[in-house]
Every structure is written in structure tokens, then in C-alpha cells.
Amino acid sequence: MIIAIDGPAASGKGTLARRIAETYELRHLDTGLTYRAVAAALLAQGLPLGDEKIAIEIARNLDLAKMDKAVLSAHEVGEAASRVAVLGALREELVRLQKDFAQTPPGAVLDGRDIGTVVCPDASVKLFITASPEARARRRTAEMVSKGQEAEFSSVLDDLKRRDARDSERTVAPMKQAADAHLLDTTEMDIETAFQAAVDIIETARKS
């Protein structure tokens, strides 16, 4: 079984993907981390984020098991990730890794922006998780504050909107709800309610 979960930044898709993977005893890949890992390596070497040749080299040597979520979740790495994510040949390299992960038994939950459209178009169930920009900015601000980082709601909101625009307007694999994906708007939901709603959708899809 492969479950594809897409949606914009801070929509709750990461937490939902992790919990769904635990519930169905599947492996989980946060594909955003692969773009973040490439961006972080370029930043660490002081290289331009548009350097596709080196970005591809970094991707070829990427070990999915060694990606450090704590380091990669930094806000500025997310911004840099969405800049490298426009590079088509880099995406091909990362998508290859992501497809390999998805195909390994017993199946997997992948979350990202193009899972239902590009990485796993034949997934058993596809979810597209959204929430209003304001709700997402509130969540991301609270998450950053809880980690001891400085965060101001209005600048987090501006950053999210800019990143949404870049992710949905790029020519290669833009963020888009797949035609056969189930839309889940979590604006008014806490994570527990969203999780229950996601499980209901998965169970209904599995029975049909």
C-alpha cells in the first residue's frame, strides 16, 4: 500500500503522514527533507542555490537514512529548499530516490508537493491537505517558538505565501492536487480531528 500526501507548508501533512505510517505499519518519507538536505549542503558550502550540477552531485550521494530532521527543519532551510526545488534535473534525481523508497515492501507513506502527481501517480490513496495561510502561519510560528526560535507571525505568514506561490507556479512538478486526491482542509481542525478525518478517507478508499 502506498499513501500519497501533498499540500502546502505547515498544513499538517508531515504530522499526519507520520501518524498514518505508524497506524498502518508502513515506512514514511518526508520528501521535503530531500530538498532541504540538498539546499542545506549548498548553503554550508557557500554555493549558489541555482548551481544544478553540484546540487545533482549532492543528491546522488544523499543517504535518506542519514537526513537530520532537527538541522534541516530550520526556517531558512525551507526557503532555500523551495529555491532548489525549481531545478528540473535535480528533481529527477530526487524523485528516483523517492520512487525507490515507495516501491520497497511493505509499502510507504510519502508526503510532499508532487507525490500524487509525479512520484506515486498510482498510489492506493491520495490526500491533499490544506489550511488557510493564516492558520498555517499560526501553527508554524507556534512550532518555531516552542523550539526556542524567534518568530513573528506576520513575517512567517509572508514567507509561507511567497513559498506557496513559488511551489505552485514553478514549471516543473508544481504543487497541485491530483485529480483523484481527497481534499482535507484542516483550518478548523486540531491534529487529532485531522488524523481521524484522514483515517476515515483512507478506510473508505480501501473498501471501494
Q: Of 89 and 200, which CB lies nearer to ligand CDP in the complex structure?
A: 89
Cβ 75 to ligand CDP shortest distance, Å: 8
Measured CA to CA, the distance from residue 193 to residue 84 in angstroms comes to: 34
Using the minimum distance from each CB to ligand CDP, give the nearer residue, 26 or 173: 173
Note the residues at the interface with ligand CDP (CB under 6 A). 9-10, 14, 31-32, 35-36, 78, 81-82, 85, 112-114, 163, 167
**Taking the complex as a whole, how short is the minimal distance between the CB of residue 46 and ligand CDP, in angstroms?**
21
Nearer to ligand CDP, 104 or 168 (CB): 168
**CB 148, min distance to ligand CDP, A:** 18
Q: How far is the CB of 207 from ligand CDP (least distance, A)?
A: 28
DSSP string, the chain: -EEEEE-STTSSHHHHHHHHHHHTT-EEEETHHHHHHHHHHHHHTT--TT-HHHHHHHHHT--GGG--HHHHT-HHHHHHHHHHTT-HHHHHHHHHHHHHHHHSTT-EEEEESSIIIII-TT-SEEEEEE--HHHHHHHHHHHHHHTT----HHHHHHHHHHHHHHHHH-SSS-----TTPEEEE-TT--HHHHHHHHHHHHHHHHH-
CB of 124 to ligand CDP, least distance (A): 18
Q: Which is nearer to ligand CDP, 175 or 202 (CB)?
A: 175
For ligand CDP, which is the closer residue by CB, 85 or 197? 85
